[in-house]
Structure 1
Amino acid sequence: MPAQPHRPGRATALALLALVLTACGTDAPGGEPALAAVPTPASAAGLRLPLQEYIPGPDQLALLNRAQWILTDQCMSRYGFHNRAPRPPEGTASRGEPDRRYGLTDPEAAAASGYGAEEAEAPRKEPMPSMDPAESLVFGGGGRVDPKAIPQTQAEAEKAGGGAELNGLKVPVGGCNREGYLKLWRPGADSRDPMRAQELDAEAFGRSRQDSRVVKATEAWTRCMAGRGYRAANPVSPQTELGLVPAAFTSPQGVAAATADVACKRESNLVGIWFAVESAYQSRLIERNGELLTAVRRQREEAVRLAASLVSDAH
């Protein structure tokens, strides 16, 4: 029997892999970008992607959602109604990006509740109330509207004047729900689409998922899972592949699978590699969209200040 080759320790192997990954990026305009560094985190908690600088965090998003509800309510009061859409809850989301961007990564959460932590943290959505035609018109504008005719900023909406009428008053195109959004997010003629940052974020994630370095790390995770008796190829949401239904996420089987999942992510350093690769794609997009993103960040800061004032006055 041939002698087994020498196998380096995990720390040495990860260090060598980091050097290879860093060196193999070409950073060509349409190619895979070079990597600055590859961390070896215990979990995704605390990692911060470059585009998060331009996207509202959980605290800000919760505040902004409450303020938009208030602005919609103020608009509806002009027509004798109140905003009966579900009021955004007080407080904030329990986690932000990229804590679960790459799937379950926290060994303590896996050991405590398997894949159930994600289910427990998902906010329960309240159903929209039924509305009579007049209230529905005020809230949503009523009827079908040509997307090209919908004002893209509050300045455009005020210039357009409105769409349908109720009791002699023009109803904003898109209704008060649209007005609440525009007043908060896109008040001026020079306002930029705040969703562009999220769109770039999604683009970077999609590109990173197909990157050869992430593909290789995912394959290493899959081999590790197979060595533990599990067949799975999707490290972000492997529950279906593992034969787990939601009711079994916190079962002993769910806990065992989740624990193996997290251990294999650490053994393959999938999280560190994926984070480094996605960070490189995001940095490249920031370089190419710097002016847009700077404007989006400025708008977000202004929206947060307005939101804080609105929420404070409402209490």
Structure 2
Amino acid sequence: MKLQARVAATALAVAGLLAALSGCTSGQGSRAAAPSLTPPPAGAAVAPASGRDAMMQLPLGAYGTTDGRSEMASQALRALITRCMHEGGYATFTRDDALNEGKRPDAATALPAGAFGYLSESVAAVQGFHPSPETTAAPARRALEPAEEGAVQKCMEAAFAQLNNPDTAGSELVGRLFDESLAVLAKDARVSAATTAWQGCMGAAGFPGVTPQGLVDQYHAAGAQAAAGPSPEELAAAKADAVCTARSNLAGIWFEVLTGYQKQLIEANQQKLTDYQQKAKEREAKLTGIIAES
């Protein structure tokens, strides 16, 4: 495998492991049966500014990753890897050399969130259903010699082993509750009505018979975004999706109802979630100590 390929693979691995270290829950675990929940009251549903912000601001988001927690985990990893490299004889190695994380996505151009393409019309018309290249490209990093990179890989493994949290019960609980909230959301009459309105709008725009998630999956199934960019068809579909999502208020209703269901699930599991938060605080204190000692 070429050096560039190894670096790219490392970047992907780092992104996933940083999310795990900072308490990220994907909500993609085993699908649990939806509990019996009461349809939450709905007010004047207002669509959040961006899908990325909305997902992180959900009630269960308080128990998952945040930009601050990710940054803390990143700093602790950099500190441990750099210390390990210095002990291995690489005296000029710096924290900037430790990780190749790539750039954080901009909220307005991040991947669609929710069961619909949550992008503005202007953004969708440029990037379709794919992330903006500007937010996924890794920043320039010093080229490492093969031997040096091999040492970095070993130091990285040791750092992850030191920071890895063997207690996964809390994160698994949050993931299960997120799955349950999505399962009951899919059966909510208000979400179904908004989705039907969205489908009518999309049909009038020339895209009949599609579903919100199916439309996104259709273009992702074709593979990675080509160098030439999204096809004209994808751009047209994404632009229509943005218009119809706003016109039907699908995003506003979707997030408002999901928030209501998640609040009920949190209340029903409050003690376990409180224990999980306490362990998360202890973990953050450990990361803070590692950073301070370096």
**Partner residue, 1:279:** 259
Aligned counterparts, 1:34-183, within 5 A:
34-45=39-50, 46-47=53-54, 48-68=57-77, 70-71=79-80, 87=99, 89=101, 92-95=104-107, 100-102=112-114, 103-118=117-132, 120-122=134-136, 176=158, 179-182=161-164
Aligned residues: 243
Q: 1:91 to 1:122 in 2, by over 3 A?
A: closer
Moved more, 59-68 or 39-48: 39-48
**Partner residue, 2:235:** 255
User: What CA distance in whole angstroms lies between the structure 2 residues aligned with 1:137 and 1:89?
Assistant: 14
Say yes or no: does 1:301 pair with 2:281.
yes
The answer to whether the 8 Å contact 2:46/2:253 transfers is no
Give the letter aligned to residue 284 of structure 2: V
User: What CA distance in whole angstroms lies between the structure 1 residues aligned with 2:111 and 2:152?
Assistant: 38
1:263-288 CA-partner distances (Å, limit 9, x unpaired)? 11112221122112221221122112
User: What CA distance in whole angstroms lies between the structure 2 residues aligned with 1:138 and 1:71?
Assistant: 12
The answer to whether the 8 Å contact 1:114/1:255 transfers is yes
**Partner residue, 1:264:** 244
> In structure 2, the residue corresponding to 1:101 is in which secondary structure?
coil
- TM-score, L = length of structure 2: 0.61
The gaps in structure 2 that reach 5 residues or longer are: 1-33
The answer to whether the 8 Å contact 2:37/2:264 transfers is no
User: What CA distance in whole angstroms lies between the structure 1 residues aligned with 2:260 and 2:47?
Assistant: 20
User: What CA distance in whole angstroms lies between the structure 2 residues aligned with 1:86 and 1:237?
Assistant: 39
> In structure 1, the residue corresponding to 2:218 is in which secondary structure?
coil
User: What CA distance in whole angstroms lies between the structure 1 residues aligned with 2:289 and 2:175?
Assistant: 28
Q: Of Structure 1 and Structure 2, which has the larger fraction of its residues in helix? A: 2
1:27-46 CA-partner distances (Å, limit 9, x unpaired)? xx933532232443345525
**Partner residue, 1:212:** 188
**Partner residue, 1:199:** 175
User: What CA distance in whole angstroms lies between the structure 1 residues aligned with 2:169 and 2:88?
Assistant: 29
**Partner residue, 2:22:** none
User: What CA distance in whole angstroms lies between the structure 2 residues aligned with 1:36 and 1:209?
Assistant: 13
How large is the RMSD of aligned CA atoms in angstroms? Answer: 4.4
User: What CA distance in whole angstroms lies between the structure 1 residues aligned with 2:263 and 2:284?
Assistant: 25
Match of 2:203 among 209, 219, 226: 226
User: What CA distance in whole angstroms lies between the structure 1 residues aligned with 2:111 and 2:233?
Assistant: 23
User: What CA distance in whole angstroms lies between the structure 1 residues aligned with 2:215 and 2:233?
Assistant: 13
Q: 1:276 to 1:137 in 2, by over 3 A?
A: closer
The gaps in structure 1 that reach 5 residues or longer are: 1-28, 141-174
Structure scoring higher RCO (CA < 8 A, sep ≥ 6) equals 2
After TM superposition, give the deviation of residue 297 of structure 1 in Å. Answer: 1.9
Give 1 or 2 for the bigger CA radius of gyration: 1
The answer to whether the 8 Å contact 1:66/1:311 transfers is yes
Q: 1:30 to 1:299 in 2, by over 3 A?
A: closer
Percent of matched pairs sharing the same residue: 22
Q: 1:204 to 1:261 in 2, by over 3 A?
A: same
1:226-279 CA-partner distances (Å, limit 9, x unpaired)? 110014634246245369762375454433221210111112221122112221
The answer to whether the 8 Å contact 2:185/2:261 transfers is no
User: What CA distance in whole angstroms lies between the structure 2 residues aligned with 1:44 and 1:232?
Assistant: 28
Give the letter aligned to residue 212 of structure 1: D
